[in-house]
Structure 1
Amino acid sequence: MNKRLSFVYTYYECLQKANRFNKNLVVRYKTTYPERKNYTEKWDFWDSHVSHIYLSNIASLYGKIDYNVVPTNIYYSYIEPTLNNIPFVTSLEDKSQLDWLYTQHAPMVLLRNIHGNFYINGDSVNNNQVDISGVLENVPKVVVKQAVESHGGRNIQVFERKGSVYYNKKGNSLTLDYLLSNFRSNFVVQEYVRQHPFFAQFNPSSLNTLRVMTYRSVVDNQIRVLNVTLRVGAPGSIVDNRKFGGYAIGVTPSGYLRDFGVNNKGGVAKVFNGVKLNELKRIVGIDDIEQVAIESAKIHYHASVLGFDMSYTDDNKVKIIEVNTWDLGIDNIQQANGALFHQYTDEVIEFCKKRV
């Protein structure tokens, strides 16, 4: 039975995106016929549409061929919906549940709206009983974001207290009417996470998070960290997503940043806000971050691959900003850190082959 998922990332959309990336690369690796043949033979049992552009793009960045690089359309059409039971795991992305699922490691939620209903400390309250100033209790800074279907950093707003009123950068005040008119339903008002200086140094305006991808092995059921990628926002931006001008920087297995970051247009940078990547020490808190990701992934029995967006705070605590259970942004990961599944590629292929 063909389990191909009808997904937004069609073959042609993935290909166009990869080609745009390739055109902006300063150095392009030209694959040979034997290399292209080997790549096709590894991946074409699912789909005859296997483009070599993915192989070429990663080889251009790393200077070597790696046949484990996953074709983007193959991943989204076949692998992800096979490894993850999408109907089951999608609800676990709901940010209004983060502090219920990961009590010690989630930002504090001050106010949540779930399906049009308001909740404070888990208790339901009527709209006319929501007192914004009372809920916030004079906290200096808060973040408001959609709780569901918010991939890519869409509609995230930061409000800072000035006197007794909270304002965003556009000068809008945080009121109940503003929340209902701009976010409507399914949103959270949560504490602002103050990141550790190590992460703030790359761009102080954005919360620069680590995308930690975990993998529950289809062979031994053990959870491992597959990839870690630091996302750095564009100057002045409050979000770290590449969609809004940010960069992705790979993290080595030993916990150091790679010496370059890449944006979604194929641009490569080695210096951020005056910080040279090749001069940095080991990432602060990386061991704790990876351990929290592994422990948190254990409750997700219906998902073999997860993408945790995590922060390390200025008081040395790990925070889970969100959990991604589908559309994990593998272009970001592979371009910043090489092949997605590394040494586990073949076991993933064999597992998914039997279920196509």
Structure 2
Amino acid sequence: MSIYQNFKNSFVKRIPIIQQRLTQLQLEISARRYMKTLLAKKDLPKLSAEEIKEAKSYFKSRGYNLKNTYWHRYYKGINGEFHKNYVPYDIFNPRINPMLNQRRQWPALLDKNLTYHLFREFNQPKRIVQNINGFYYINDEIVDLQEAINACGSIESKLIIKPTIDTGRGKMVNTFSVINSKTTYKDYSIEKLFRLYGKDFVVQEFLEQSDVLKSLNPSSLNTLRIVSYLNNEGVHILSSVLRVGKLGSSTDNFSTGGLFCGILHDGTLKGKGYNPKGEVVTEASTGVSLAGCKIPNYAKVQEMVKSMHHVVPYFKIIAWDIGINKDDFPYLIEYNTHKLGIDLQIADGPLLGGFTDEILALALKKS
């Protein structure tokens, strides 16, 4: 074999490694830029020299170079609690997530239209119309535009429409009703609303939620964000928070003005919630106190999450959004493996909990 051929073969083999490193570098830079911008907007106290040393030593002893303590400062600055094992975005996104979750599975398996097939054995909001790559579907059968319009027009209750690909942060998630062939969304016709979304979206019946969660904010579906981890021993719950929307908002996202509050093992809220301004809140915008509020059927929620995780073992860490219906049964709203939203550490402590060492070691081993 010629010297040229040897060099070519060696170079080709290294291309995936080079691509991986470049992707990691890009994610690290993006994460740090995001946090530096966030810190610049807030007047948060700096960590002590001892806290900085403790955090860096912790990660160094586990094979990681903690290049900054931006996230430790941000989380402590809001909740007043320092933990050396807070997981920063610039370690989680480029190092942990790609190593534990198969990146090649993300584009297909995260299409929210597919969840009705993947998780068919579990409760989900009733689908009215799906648009998949420009084709309209009702009950898994292709229909024309007019049939899709008629299906939505025949529903008297509130509906919700949302994209099914490249979603996040509540973007383009809207609730509406149909009155005299017009939607309550900007008085659009159903066809005009469909055109706004283009393709790859779903229209669902709005889930009538539990009285307990409705009392915290009736305008949004308030959901549980539960992070689970799959290993050889089974599925483990790493973190659990309740997300509550801002009064009048149709989404419960933290980024759109909502709040989140940690959940104890028995389903009781921790009592202190946090909003995007970095403020500690003890009650929802409706005036209902968070302290003493208990998630209905929480044991069933955990059981459901553990059962669902076995369906998609390609992903070892998953963030699940779970709603509770008016009869207190859990419903899958969506699941996330790419954008997990790890800022829930503010409300529930270090993301990886008692499995931090195991997961950090696993990410290094696979990389």
TM-score scaled to structure 2, two decimals? 0.86
Distance change in 2, residues 1:249/1:9 (3 Å): farther
Unaligned runs of 5+ in 2: 1-16
- Contact 1:83/1:303 (CA < 8 Å) preserved in 2? yes
- Contact 1:213/1:226 (CA < 8 Å) preserved in 2? yes
* TM-aligned CA deviation for residue 62 of structure 1: 4.9
More helix by percentage: 2
Distance change in 2, residues 1:24/1:106 (3 Å): farther
Q: Which residue of 1 aligns with 2:220?
A: 206
Distance change in 2, residues 1:51/1:160 (3 Å): same
Structure of greater Rg = 2
- Contact 1:211/1:308 (CA < 8 Å) preserved in 2? yes
**Percent of paired sites with the same residue:** 27
Distance (Å, rounded) in 1 between the aligned partners of 2:47 and 2:226: 30
- Contact 1:89/1:303 (CA < 8 Å) preserved in 2? no
- Contact 2:78/2:278 (CA < 8 Å) preserved in 1? no
1:258-298 superposed Cα distances (whole Å, 9 cap, x missing partner): 121112331221111111122x2422121111111111111
Q: Which residue of 1 aligns with 2:175?
A: 158
Decide which of 72, 86, 93 is 2:103's aligned counterpart.
86
Q: Which residue of 1 aligns with 2:249?
A: 237
Unaligned runs of 5+ in 1: none
2:295 counterpart SS class: coil
Decide which of 95, 100, 107 is 2:112's aligned counterpart.
95
- Contact 1:46/1:74 (CA < 8 Å) preserved in 2? no
Letter of the aligned partner of 1:76 in structure 2? N
Higher-RCO chain (CA-CA 8 Å, sequence separation at least 6): 1
Decide which of 276, 284, 294 is 1:264's aligned counterpart.
276
- Contact 2:153/2:178 (CA < 8 Å) preserved in 1? no
- Contact 1:20/1:265 (CA < 8 Å) preserved in 2? no
1:185 paired to 2:199? yes
* TM-aligned CA deviation for residue 155 of structure 1: 0.6
Distance (Å, rounded) in 2 between the aligned partners of 1:245 and 1:70: 24
Letter of the aligned partner of 2:184 in structure 1? N
* TM-aligned CA deviation for residue 206 of structure 1: 0.9
Distance change in 2, residues 1:304/1:160 (3 Å): same
Q: Which residue of 1 aligns with 2:158?
A: 141
Aligned residues: 344
Which moves more between the two structures, 60-69 or 267-276?
A: 60-69
Distance (Å, rounded) in 2 between the aligned partners of 1:63 and 1:234: 23
Which moves more between the two structures, 62-71 or 184-193?
A: 62-71
Distance (Å, rounded) in 2 between the aligned partners of 1:77 and 1:264: 24
Distance change in 2, residues 1:244/1:13 (3 Å): same
Q: Which residue of 1 aligns with 2:352?
A: 341
Distance change in 2, residues 1:125/1:311 (3 Å): same
Distance (Å, rounded) in 2 between the aligned partners of 1:18 and 1:198: 33
Summarize the alignment of residues 10-25 of structure 1 with structure 2, pairs less than 5 Å apart: 10-20=30-40, 23-24=42-43
Summarize the alignment of residues 275-314 of structure 1 with structure 2, pairs less than 5 Å apart: 275-278=288-291, 280-314=292-326
TM-score scaled to structure 1, two decimals? 0.89
Summarize the alignment of residues 59-74 of structure 1 with structure 2, pairs less than 5 Å apart: 59-74=76-91
1:33 paired to 2:44? no
Letter of the aligned partner of 1:313 in structure 2? N
